[in-house]
Amino acid sequence: MPSFQYQDFVPHQRFQRALAFAPQGDRLAFSSNAGGTSALWTVPTTGDPARKLAQMPGRIVRQAAWTPDGAAVVFTADFEGDEQYGIFRVGLDGDAPIPIVSGQDCQCIIARRPFDSEGRRLLYAANDRDPAVQDLLIRDLATGDVQRIEPEEGVAFTPVMLSPDARWVLVSGFRSNTDVGAYLVDLARPDDRPQCVTNEHGTALYEPMCWAPDSSGFYLLTDLWGFTAAAFYRLDDHSLSPVSQYDWDVETLDAAGGSLAWTVNEAGRSVLYVRRAEGTAGISDVPSGVISTLSLSEDGRMAAMLLDSPSRPEEILLVDLDEGASRRLTDGRPSALRSVAPVEPELITYPSSGGRDVHAFVYRPTTPGPHPVLLSIHGGPEGQERPRYAALYQHLLHHGIAVFAPNIAGSTGYGRVHQKLIYRDWGGIDLEDLDHAVRYLHTRPDLDVDRVAVFGGSYGGFAALSCLARLPHRWAAGVSICGPSNLVTLASEAPPTWRSVVDALLGNPETDADRLLANSPITHADAIDAPLLVLQGARDPRVPRAESDNLVERLRNRGVQVRYEVFPDEGHGFATQANELRAYSETAAFLIAHLAKDGR
């Protein structure tokens, strides 16, 4: 078998969570880094090749939506990951994008469907008035006039869409990841305050998604009854009734043209369901994997989604709901997958503290063991390890290294209780789960527990550093990508609009400073002795470079082997393809050097 390099496993493009049908249903707009840097693209639903529509030097395209006449696309973009999103408009004629709101020193977020039927009014949110407050704005694109609607204290507004009868604006009011309310703004009564119509049903997640075609109410996701369910809120009697409930989370939903579609996270894999006039049915032709974005055409006859699986990288999948048939509109498969059979994971559970069981995925090489192991920790912390394609995993597996990826306390997908276990306890119950993960590895004769490394990005980087600093295990190596080492700094430097969220999820940097420091890797840095790779974006607005500088200096002064790479044009993570390739190539080489017996 030929020996492949990391780049041989890398897909040709990576997508942002932007996917929108043109009004006519003949094209899709999306954002990807195909060709090396972020750009706005369109692809015909006929399957013809995609076309680059707009690219701005240094700008990362984040969201996209069509104007109602289908003549242009509006999109948001920040500069080199600084998370200061501006709003731009570009026509289909190849002219340069035109700024609508620059985004300089503020964050702009457009609605899921941001226009009225005439395309004159644009719905978006921005923190331009107060950096710590995310207002709702309705801009008249003809006159430039802006109607501003301010949220109540501690709430960040994100508009969803106007009602079909143009009477109401549906708004998401964000307090924390588990406390989101559905708000209505009555445009017929401009002096009225926005009303949180879900308050009367109790504190929970109420994530508004889209209107019913007759404006009688709206669909939303809620965990009021335990796992996240799809529900419908009626305007006339204020009732909230379930549309679909499972012992798993409903993760996304859309409605258009008489069709209602949603996906269910079943043990990490997404299952697509559609309700039409003839009833509700699962769509069997959708390949097994993870659906991260779902969008229906205006006539409700087609569904588009971003589909990811361990054996094939994320791509745009188009489903004909009339025929129940699907086909891919993009193909980002790397060269190695033409010769190497990718490894599918095994889903297992292992015991942890308090009688809890933790779900995890185990990827095992096809060669004889026992195999060295990478403990891979997802970000978030309210993220989820799911069966997706990971070039790093497949490359390491090709070199005989197993991957163990758990869904520790705080992970989504396992109900509200499991998700909230980590609230104000970073470096506590999550670290207990990681400790028990390593103990579980000792029970597997096919794994070599004398060669275990730990890896993670963002929160996962924090957890990796915590493992190295605080768990009594022998580590072969560790990798932290934009991982915070000081929780006080993380809480202090969070974006201003996150203030209340950070207080609820992590803690207050002033009143909780002692607890945050006690659980910070920097406090226990003198216990780190394993070789470490640290990757940091110089423009990271969440984890300042100085924080990583400090950790690296302390470790090097003690003689710990540390490799430190700073990316001058990146923020929190990697948006540029060349930087991402370099970062993960170095990560793969570092891990192979410290885990593989021959270091190759």
Please report which confidence band the pLDDT of residue 82 belongs to, taking 50, 70 and 90 as the band edges. Answer: confident
Cα dihedral 415→419→420→423 (10° resolution): 180
To the nearest whole number, what is the mean pLDDT of the chain? 91
pLDDT of the residue at 466: 97
342 and 374 within one domain: yes
In this structure, the answer to whether residues 344 and 323 fall within a common structural domain is: no
Whether residue 173 is predicted with pLDDT greater than 70 in this model: the reply is yes
Q: Averaged over 517-522, what is the pLDDT? A: 95
Q: Quick one: which of 258, 257, 256, 288 has its CA closest to 272?
A: 288
Q: What is the pLDDT of residue 600?
A: 46
pLDDT in tens, 230-288: 999 999 999 999 999 998 999 999 999 989 999 999 988 999 999 988 777 777 788 88
Which is nearest to 176 in space by CA: 198, 153, 200, 154? 154
In a domain? residue 556: yes
What is residue 103's predicted lDDT score, i.e. its pLDDT?
67
Average pLDDT, stretch 74-95? 89
pLDDT band at 1 (very low <50, low <70, confident <90, very high): low
Structural domain including 304 reads 246-333
Do 424 and 461 reside in the same domain of the chain? yes
Q: Are 359 and 505 in the same domain?
A: yes
Which pLDDT score is estimated for 80?
78
Higher-pLDDT residue of 175, 457: 457
**What is the spatial distance between Cα 389 and Cα 313, in angstroms, rounded to a whole number?**
5
**Structural domain includes residue 38:** no
* Same-domain check for residues 385 and 454: yes
User: Among residues 452, 430, 457, which one has the least CA distance to residue 441?
Assistant: 452
Residue 538 belongs to domain with CATH number:
3.40.50.1820
Return d(Cα 60, Cα 68) in angstroms, integer: 24
Residues 328 and 340 in one domain: no
Whether 292 has a pLDDT exceeding 80, the answer reads yes
Question: pTM of the prediction?
Answer: 0.83
Q: Would residue 123 count as lying in a domain?
A: no
Mean pLDDT of 479-504: 85
**Tens of pLDDT, residues 198-225:** 999 988 899 999 999 999 999 999 999 9
The residue to which tokens 């004159």 are assigned: 120
Q: Out of 287, 317, 333, pick the residue that ends a domain.
A: 333
pLDDT of residue 18 exceeding 70 = yes
Q: How many domains would you assign to the chain? A: 2
Question: Using an 8 Å Cβ cutoff, are 76 and 16 in contact?
Answer: no
511 and 419 fall within a common domain: yes
pLDDT in tens, 299-337: 999 999 999 999 899 999 999 998 888 999 998 889 898
**Reduced DSSP (H G I as helix, E B as strand, rest coil) percent helix, strand, coil of the chain, to 5:** 20, 40, 40
Query: Of 311, 333, 355, which residue constitutes the final position of a domain?
Result: 333
Confidence of residue 106 (pLDDT cuts 50, 70, 90): confident
493 and 505 in a single domain? The answer is: yes
